[in-house]
């Protein structure tokens, strides 16, 4: 729990989070998380914050992030999906391939292993939220988390603009465009925006396919927790799954066993959005521009390779389905 030494840093992060929400509401910025990350980055590099802020910033970056991840469990309902069975292999292949490429191409490109893995996970599932969910299990620098979040959001924004145009150029149907966009774009907002840019039906299909990928966050995080627990040594290794992950699992079960009323889920979703945005401020404040300069271009290259492979695989599924039917 936070104490007096945390208050100034936490207050700073909450204030910046509020500014990020205002920017989305009144200026039309796309996501509060990315805005918060960028503002935090600017403050951390161009304003000399005193040491009295450090503990609260670290608390926001680590602990508040963990709470935000835990509350994600209550927002994942398997009942919201009605995907065709043949789409399941797309989701599984995309997730596995993206994470594999992120992990094993990183060293060849000159990106840190953790940053490569985060980029792979972010591309595979749901962008910044997925990176936020797995990062607590790794002893990584804030710059690695920040760079990976930046990369997947840049790629998602570019893809949201280009993939509808690619679908038009390839004379895709609404269903095909929805599968391509929902099966490759990074964040939910990117997939929804790109899908509806092509057409209403494409937007609906893109949303469904994307939600299928998002729901894979739970097993990916659980598997990550189990793998990392085996690599730890000493007393910490006895704790198989962190407390926030136990809460995540419990809430995930509740959300899918019971039909929870919106009076419960809506406030939780709002709270979770605030927690995640506040945590992004903390992460941004810890990022140093020199780290971005050294890691950014290579990380963007790695993310681009993964993104192109994703698009190629989904196109293969689309044309393969058309051929066999």
Domain range summary for the chain, segments of one domain joined by +: 4-324
Q: Closest Cα to residue 249, out of 58, 72, 13, 50?
A: 72
Please answer whether residues 60 and 43 qualify as being in contact, where contact means their C-beta atoms are separated by less than 8 angstroms.
no
How far does Cα 323 stand from its chain's mean position? 34
Give the whole-angstrom CA distance, residue 65 versus residue 291: 22
Please answer whether residues 62 and 136 qualify as being in contact, where contact means their C-beta atoms are separated by less than 8 angstroms.
yes
Token output for 16:
């910046």
pTM above 0.85, yes or no: no
The pLDDT assigned to 291 comes to 64
Give the whole-angstrom CA distance, residue 276 versus residue 292: 22
Q: Closest Cα to residue 59, out of 3, 121, 131, 118?
A: 3
Give the whole-angstrom CA distance, residue 281 versus residue 196: 30
Give the whole-angstrom CA distance, residue 35 versus residue 37: 5
Alpha-helix residue ranges (DSSP H) falling in 47-141: 54-59, 65-72, 87-109, 113-124, 128-134
Token output for 55:
């503990």
The pLDDT assigned to 288 comes to 73
Average pLDDT, consecutive stretches of 10 residues, N- to C-terminus, the chain (325 residues): 79 94 84 83 86 88 83 71 64 88 90 90 86 79 78 85 93 91 85 83 82 82 76 47 75 84 88 88 80 76 94 89 65
Q: Closest Cα to residue 288, out of 57, 46, 100?
A: 46
Please answer whether residues 164 and 190 qualify as being in contact, where contact means their C-beta atoms are separated by less than 8 angstroms.
no
Exposed, middle or buried by CB within 10 Å (0-12, 13-18, 19+), for 260?
middle
Terminal Cα distance for the chain, rounded: 58
């Amino acid at each position: 729990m936070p104490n007096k030494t945390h208050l100034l840093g936490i207050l700073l992060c909450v204030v910046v989070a509020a500014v990020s929400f205002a920017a989305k509401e009144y200026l039309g910025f796309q996501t509060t998380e990315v805005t918060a990350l960028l503002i935090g980055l600017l403050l951390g590099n161009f304003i000399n914050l005193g040491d009295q802020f450090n503990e609260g910033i670290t608390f926001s970056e680590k602990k508040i992030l963990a709470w935000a991840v835990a509350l994600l469990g209550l927002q994942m309902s398997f009942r919201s999906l009605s995907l065709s069975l043949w789409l399941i292999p797309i989701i599984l292949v995309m997730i596995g391939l993206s994470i594999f490429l992120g992990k094993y191409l990183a060293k060849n490109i000159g990106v840190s292993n953790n940053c490569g893995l985060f980029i792979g996970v972010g591309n595979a599932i749901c962008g910044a939220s997925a990176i936020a969910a797995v990062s607590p299990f790794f002893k990584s620098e804030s710059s690695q988390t920040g760079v990976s979040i930046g990369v997947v959001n840049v790629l998602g924004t570019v893809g949201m603009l280009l993939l509808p145009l690619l679908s038009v150029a390839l004379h895709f149907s609404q269903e095909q465009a929805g599968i391509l966009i929902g099966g490759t774009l990074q964040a939910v907002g990117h997939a929804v925006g790109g899908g509806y840019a092509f057409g209403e039906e494409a937007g609906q299909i893109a949303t469904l396919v994307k939600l299928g990928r998002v729901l894979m966050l739970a097993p990916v995080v659980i598997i990550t927790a189990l793998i990392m627990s085996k690599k730890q040594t000493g007393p910490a290794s006895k704790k198989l799954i962190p407390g926030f992950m136990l809460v995540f699992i419990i809430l995930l079960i509740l959300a899918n066993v019971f039909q929870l009323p919106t009076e419960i889920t809506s406030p939780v979703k709002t709270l979770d959005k605030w927690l995640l945005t506040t945590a992004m401020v903390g992460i941004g404040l810890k990022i140093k521009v020199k780290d971005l300069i050294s890691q950014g271009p290579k990380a963007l290259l790695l993310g681009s390779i993964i993104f192109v492979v994703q698009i190629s695989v989904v196109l293969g599924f689309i044309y393969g389905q058309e051929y066999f039917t």
